[in-house]
Amino acid sequence: MADLNILYDSIVSGKLEPAVAVTLEAIAEGINPQLIINDYMVKAMEEIGARFECGKAYVPNLLMSARAMKGSLEILKPLLKGDTSSSMGKVVIGTVKGDLHDIGKNIVASMLEGCGFEVINLGVDVTSEKFIEAIIEHNADIICMSALLTTTMTYMKEVVEAIEAAGLKNKVKIMIGGAPVSQSYATKIGAIGFSDNANSAVQKAKELMASN
C-alpha cells in the first residue's frame, strides 16, 4: 500500500525519484489525485516554504522541493483534466522590461506551481504588451511582476497603467516583488499585493484568491 507520508517527506527533502515512485503507486491503487495533491504535496511545499522563511531551509532546498513536487504533479495532471478544482488559480509571472534577473522570479513561480497554482512564466525583459496579451489569453487571476533594479522597478507602474487602460484592472490582481520593491511602492503604483520572498508570495496569492 502506498505510503503518502513518504511522498510528503520526499518533497520536503527534495527527492524526486521516491516522490515519483510513491505517486505512481498511489495512482495504481486508485487513490484520489486531488487528495494526494491537497493533503500531501501542497502541505509539503508549505512546510518547505515555512522552513525557508525562518531560515531553516535555503534557495537550493526550495528548488529541489519544487522539482520533486513538479515531477509528481506531471504524473497526476492527466487525471485532473476537466477538474476545475485542481487549480488554485492562474498566475502570469515575469520580470519587467529592462531587467534580466530571473532566479527569484523562478523560485516564486515554482513555489506557486507547487502549491497548486497554474503558472504562466513569461521569463525576463517582459513588456506591458506581453503581460496584457498573457492576461487575456490565459484569463489570468493574478499577475506577478518582479524587478531587481531600482532603474527597472519604475516600469511596474507602466504595466499597471497599461492593465488599467486595457480595462483589466478589476479582472486581475496585481502583485509585485523584488529587492528594491516595498509595500509602500506597491500601494503607490496601484498594485494590490507585495511580497519579499517566495513563501509570502504564495500566501499572498492564496489570500487574493480567497477574497474573490
Name the pTM for this structure. Answer: 0.74
Residue position matching grid coordinates 491537497: 38
Residue position matching grid coordinates 499585493: 193
- Give yes or no for a contact between 107 and 64, defined as CB atoms under 8 angstroms apart: no
Residue position matching grid coordinates 492564496: 206
What confidence score (pLDDT) does residue 85 get? 55
Collect all residues with Cβ–Cβ distance below 8 Å to 91 and sequence separation of at least 6.
Answer: 109, 112, 117, 118, 119, 120, 140, 141, 142, 143, 144, 205
Task: With residue 208 as reference, give the H or E element that holds it.
Answer: helix 198-210
What confidence score (pLDDT) does residue 82 get? 53
Q: What is the 3-state secondary structure (H, E, C) of 27-96?
A: HHCCCCHHHHHHHHHHHHHHHHHHHHHCCCCCHHHHHHHHHHHHHHHHHHHHHHCCCHHHCCCEEEEEEE
What confidence score (pLDDT) does residue 87 get? 74
DSSP 172: S
Domains of the chain plus CATH, in order, are: 4-85 (1.10.1240.10), 87-210 (3.40.50.280)
Task: With residue 142 as reference, give the H or E element that holds it.
Answer: strand 142-146
* Cell matching residue 95: 520580470
- Give yes or no for a contact between 101 and 150, defined as CB atoms under 8 angstroms apart: no
Q: What is the pLDDT along the chain (212 residues), one digit of tens a residue?
A: 889 999 999 999 999 999 999 999 999 999 998 889 888 998 898 898 889 878 999 888 988 998 898 899 888 878 876 554 557 899 999 999 999 988 788 888 888 887 788 999 999 999 999 999 999 999 999 999 999 999 999 999 999 999 999 999 999 999 999 989 999 999 999 999 898 887 789 889 999 998 86
